[in-house]
Amino acid sequence: AYTLQVGRTLFAHRQVLICRDGEEAATALLSDDPRRLLSSQQEQRDRPVAFLFPGVGEQFVGLTKELYDDEPVFRAMVDHCFAQLKTHLGRDLWEVLYEDDPQLSTKQSSQGNHTRNAQSGLNLKAILKRNGATPKTPLERLKQTALSQPAVFVIEYALAHLFMQWGMRPQAMLGYSLGEYVAACLSGVFSLEDALKLVAGRAKLIQEMEEGAMIAVALSERSIQSYLDEQVSLAAVNGSSTCVLAGPTDAIEYLEGHLGELGIITQRVETTHAFHSTMLEPVIEPLTELMQEITFHAPTIPYISNITGTWITDEQARDPNYWAQHMCQTVRFADGLSQLLADTQLALLEIGPGQSLSAFAKQHPDCGQQRLSMVIPTLPTVHEQLSDSSTVLTALGKLWLAGVALDTQAFYGAERRQRVLLPAYPFERQRYWIDTSKGNEKAKNTRRARKGKLADLADWFYLPTWEQAPLLPTAATQRNMTQSPWLIFGDVSGISQSIAERLRQDGHTCVCVYAGAHFASENLQSYTIQPGEQDDYKALCKHLAATQLLPRTVLHTWSFSATYEQSNGPIGFQMQQERGFYSLLFLAQALGAQVYEEPLSMLVISNHMQAVTGQESISPEKSTIQAACRVIPQEQPNITCRSIDLNTFNAATLTRHTLDQLLLECTSDTNDGTVAYRHHQRWIQSYKQIRLEAPTSADLPFREQGVYLITGGLGGVGLLVAEHLAQTVQARLVLTGRTVLPAKGTWEDWVESHEPTDAISQKIQHIQAIEALGAEVLVVQVDVADQQKMQETVQLALKHFGVLHGVIHAAGITSAEGFGLFQDMDRTQCELQFQPKVHGLYALEQATEHIDLDFCLLFSSISTVLGGLGYLAYAAANTFMDAYTYLHNQSSDLPWLCVNWDTWYKEEHAHAERVTTVAEFIMQPAEALDALHRVLSAQQLTHIINSTGDLQARVQQWISTQSTQADAEVQPASAPRANISTDYVAARDEHEQAIIEIWQKLLGIDQIGIYDNFFELGGHSLIGTQLISRLRQRFQVNLPLTALFTTPTVAELATAIKLIILEEIEQLDEEEAEHLSLNSPV
């Protein structure tokens, strides 16, 4: 190791290993364990570093004892400080911090490292009450503020001195509370002797104060203002959605209960004083007097003020009043991090107990993925069974990996080292690019969807059903189960824990994630995140990538509830989405940003979501996760997703046999995408074709001059249905929509003064045509999701017409802003779809609850069955509609009829670029109205699927992973060049030629030019997913699926790929770039 440091050129590619001797080094190197053998590609040399100093809260007896024994520089500084403090405290801190305590059971580990018993961890966030008793053990003594704060100061100051001795000179510093005193001392604001006197005196004064309490709240600084008053103070702002409040115990307890009722996540901070609050104001005057004995100087190293959240000024640093006010003011730590992170080259080193400041930094929105490895703690947490010395050396190694200069001579100090003869590096120019498989064995008997619509319209209908399937045998085919870790989102009922235990017994690594107030990392295999916070998922995946623990299998159990969650409207829906639909969406987005070609399996376990037997009570709010399981794999070809539903609430009620089956579901290579277990039986979702013959007029529920409410009545489908009702039964119609029309008396003037293409004019003319057919039309501008407004609309209809006979709920979003690929999806797009389909349904049920209707028809979508590129939010909203219909019909005298419609014809499609695969299945207006008659005449049916093509074949094509993979292997029969609008132009380089070859195999066309459009050649969304997957593998670039729509020609795709490759090359040094160019696969 010494020879490598002093006798070799420093390269960009680096590795670090912490070990005791050659034998341990050899074992670790052969194991290639990424947790021990750390690697990186250095992007910068002489990288600057900033020091972070925590406050009290994560110390424990025995911390740094091994470092004290092993490092002479650290030991000398600690001894010097303890000697100085003895005169101020009347006690030797060495006895408090390092003296053996029988309660601790501290022993040497098997590796010879000084460790502590798991029970010995002491969280000094709990500061002792004043009781006047003399502590009997070091553990109890260290709980006193008067001793803990000086001890923390000494540890941090001595540790900083050690790193500086090794060449790590800080360019900037940021302390948290007491940590600012360490930063100021290192910067020369006051001498070490004055700092020790000041810290000891300040700690004594605080300990004498009245007790208080503190609470962490998952709210932003802006949102938390309404909870502040004369008693409750804002103690700290740690992140964009994490604040700490402090005040009297009774006030904090009351606030804690109030916030809990509002569903706001809180966590009590274990402390007996309200730090950084008005409760400490009585200490200001005596502390100011103490300050008069201190000599202040301007800082020589820049550091950030807790009070302002920006760089300390000379005047502030030298002002005694600043330091007196410091303990009562808010710690603006998040703002301070913003200042440091603005320098993108700066590495952050947390010097002191615990790793909280590192966690805050990694969660900060300005900390990008590349920055995570440059945020480094130096000491273990109270929960980690790690050596002090190894943790410090690991931190030093990570700094070196990041490019921070190390003073090798100072590091080895007085140790006697010698250089040895090592072999030279074998820089052989060999090609290491991983080619895609060239196996040409084609899948046989592949089922393909039959083209176009079925000839007989009566065959366009299906019922969703469940088929009992055999239990998976113990010898079921296993997925390719590598040793890549499992990422498990743990539930509170114990299901995930039971599975994790079994997986660990089989040798798998399980990284568990639990719901919490914010992102936090307890250790490499345990995290907490706020379920609905998108940034937490990004931070989680950044951590997993940085620690090389990215999963190949995800087990998500947050939709498995410990009790039956009865549907309770919009609030319940939103809460369920946070831990269900949005959790899966944000997770897939975060994982997709990290991985592009490796296979990833997502297993989603729920309970009481599926209506299998027809007798269950279900939670329809959970159903949206089914859409995620269908659409995400369609848009991200390397991801597979499976839904597994149970009918239990607790792992304790599962038999061992059922648990065995559940484990097999998680590990077996089965093509069943939607599975449910009921009464020890396995069920799979299927669809049964039924014939609906053309009805007679007597079979229809329409009345002559009946009154019908059509939500979404001003949309294309709504106006088509309204026109049909006017023509056939001269209906009286209530048409609702979001569009604001001018006053009816001004319609003629509006139409005359606007172009024929004006959308308002077209709606006006359509309504006028409906009225000309003999209908009376009442147009109401209303948001269907507004419960109060919908009630008023129904009452207006009753007042105007005197009766209401039927409702057609056709409201929905079909404009482009409601659709998008999941990687680009955000809450706004999802909520846009949820408004009419989810909240609109809640409002409609409430508004029509006591009205005796002839029928209520709900327009759902076939996307709940087939998914579709860009249809994630739309499919989720409609899936809820299907499930809620089942729940409503269990208790209502008037059953709703929910129809999953195939595509109705429209002259213009907002998302036309994605309807190429369904164009051949679109229903013309006459066909759609005929189908409408057939479903409304179907007796006793409440849920019907309308598919103009063979539904089973379409499911095989779009949903079945095995079918999709088989289709990918089967090459279409070769055909001559298509007759398209562009002339043939041959490939100009190897990139374009490689792309053309892939197109030829997928499209079955002999001659393809570089300016030919993928969609004009017959390509569609499904083939597009296969194309993007092959391009990713061929060129080893993270090409997004959207590239196919924005660059649909060979030439444009080649340019996009080249740009991505160039961006990656810019990150390489000269030798690596040359190596890549010589050995490129094209």
What is d(CA 797, CA 801) in angstroms, rounded to the nearest whole number? 6
The pTM of the full predicted model, rounded to 2 decimals, is: 0.57
Residues ≥6 apart with Cβ < 8 Å to 732: 705, 706, 707, 708, 775, 776, 777, 778, 801
What pLDDT score does 407 carry? 77
Residue 224 has pLDDT above 70, yes or no: yes
What is d(CA 189, CA 181) in angstroms, rounded to the nearest whole number? 9
* CATH number belonging to domain 213-270: 3.30.70.250
Q: In what order do the strands lie in the sheet with 233-239?
A: 233-239, 242-247, 213-217, 266-269
pLDDT band at 124 (very low <50, low <70, confident <90, very high): very low
Average pLDDT of the segment spanning 430-459: 55
Name which of 222-231, 303-312, 416-425, 858-867 the model is least confident about. Answer: 416-425
What is the rounded average pLDDT for all residues in the chain? Answer: 83
pLDDT band at 964 (very low <50, low <70, confident <90, very high): very low
What pLDDT score does 211 carry? 86
Q: Which two tokens stand for residue 965?
A: 């993979």
What is d(CA 236, CA 225) in angstroms, rounded to the nearest whole number? 13
Query: Which residues is 554 bridged to in the sheet?
Result: 487, 602
Q: Which helix (H) or strand (E) holds 962?
A: helix 961-969
pLDDT band at 264 (very low <50, low <70, confident <90, very high): confident
- Provide the b/e sequence for 924-961 (b: ≥16 CB within 10 Å): eeebbbbbbbbbbbbeebbbbbbbbbbbbbbbbbbbbb
- Provide the b/e sequence for 792-826 (b: ≥16 CB within 10 Å): ebbeebeeebeebbbbbbbbbbbeeebbbbbbebe
What pLDDT score does 648 carry? 82
Task: Name the CATH topology of 971-1078.
Answer: 1.10.1200
What is d(CA 994, CA 997) in angstroms, rounded to the nearest whole number? 5
CA 254, 258, 263, 265 torsion-angle sign: negative
What pLDDT score does 1026 carry? 72
Query: Which residues is 486 bridged to in the sheet?
Result: 510, 553
Residue 610 has pLDDT above 70, yes or no: yes
**What is the longest distance spanned by two Cα atoms in the chain?**
104
Q: Taking the mean position of all CA atoms in its chain, how far away is CA 57?
A: 29
Q: Which helix (H) or strand (E) holds 990?
A: helix 990-1003
The CA-CA-CA angle for residues 478, 481, 484, to 5°, reads 165
Burial (0-12, 13-18, 19+ Cβ within 10 Å), 755: exposed
CB 361 within 8 A of CB 367: yes
Query: Tell me: domain 49-104+121-210+275-387, CATH 3.40.50.150, correct?
Result: no
What is d(CA 503, CA 494) in angstroms, rounded to the nearest whole number? 14
Average pLDDT of the segment spanning 910-927: 67
pLDDT band at 7 (very low <50, low <70, confident <90, very high): low
The CA-CA-CA angle for residues 902, 904, 908, to 5°, reads 130
What pLDDT score does 511 carry? 95
Q: Taking the mean position of all CA atoms in its chain, how far away is CA 1029?
A: 23
Residue 476 has pLDDT above 80, yes or no: no
Q: Do domains 703-915 and 971-1078 have the same CATH topology?
A: no
Residue 286 has pLDDT above 60, yes or no: yes
Average pLDDT of the segment spanning 911-927: 69
What pLDDT score does 5 carry? 62
CB 503 within 8 A of CB 518: no
What pLDDT score does 136 carry? 35
Locate tokens 């002479």: which residue? 72
β-pair type (600-607, 526-529):
unpaired
Name which of 215-229, 337-351, 463-477 the model is least confident about. Answer: 463-477
CB 400 within 8 A of CB 14: yes
What is d(CA 236, CA 245) in angstroms, rounded to the nearest whole number? 7
What pLDDT score does 34 carry? 63
What pLDDT score does 435 carry? 45
CB 301 within 8 A of CB 173: yes
For the stretch 203-213, pLDDT in tens is 999 999 988 89
What pLDDT score does 956 carry? 83
What pLDDT score does 385 carry? 62
What is d(CA 133, CA 1043) in angstroms, rounded to the nearest whole number? 71
The one-letter amino acid code at 725 reads L
Query: Which residues is 686 bridged to in the sheet?
Result: 465
What pLDDT score does 649 carry? 74
What pLDDT score does 482 carry? 57
CB 976 within 8 A of CB 1007: yes
Q: Residues 703-915: name the CATH superfamily.
A: NAD(P)-binding Rossmann-like Domain (3.40.50.720)
Average pLDDT of the segment spanning 634-651: 85
Percentage of residues in the chain having pLDDT higher than 70: 82
Please give the backbone phi and psi of residue 527, each rounded to the nearest 5 degrees, phi first. -135, 160
Instruction: Pick from 26-30, 820-824, 833-837 the range whose average pLDDT is largest.
Output: 833-837
What pLDDT score does 79 carry? 94
The CA-CA-CA angle for residues 557, 563, 564, to 5°, reads 100
The full set of domain ranges for the chain reads: 49-104+121-210+275-387, 213-270, 462-684, 703-915, 971-1078
What pLDDT score does 535 carry? 94
The one-letter amino acid code at 825 reads M
pLDDT band at 958 (very low <50, low <70, confident <90, very high): confident
Q: Which helix (H) or strand (E) holds 675?
A: strand 674-678
For the stretch 712-746, pLDDT in tens is 999 999 999 999 999 999 999 999 998 899 999 99
Comparison of pLDDT for 57 and 451, the residue scoring more: 57
Average pLDDT of the segment spanning 383-407: 83
What is d(CA 319, CA 184) in angstroms, rounded to the nearest whole number? 12
pLDDT band at 963 (very low <50, low <70, confident <90, very high): very low
pLDDT band at 980 (very low <50, low <70, confident <90, very high): low
Residue 940 has pLDDT above 90, yes or no: no
CB 159 within 8 A of CB 264: no
For the stretch 160-192, pLDDT in tens is 999 998 988 999 999 999 999 999 999 999 999
What pLDDT score does 112 carry? 34
What is d(CA 664, CA 673) in angstroms, rounded to the nearest whole number? 14
Q: What is the DSSP letter of 855?
A: E
What pLDDT score does 968 carry? 43
Q: Which two tokens stand for residue 174?
A: 């940021």
CA–CA distances in Å: residue 45 to residues 48, 346, 432, 451, 776: 9, 12, 27, 60, 78
What pLDDT score does 133 carry? 35
Query: Tell me: domain 462-684, CATH 3.40.50.720, correct?
Result: yes
Q: Which two tokens stand for residue 181?
A: 């005193």
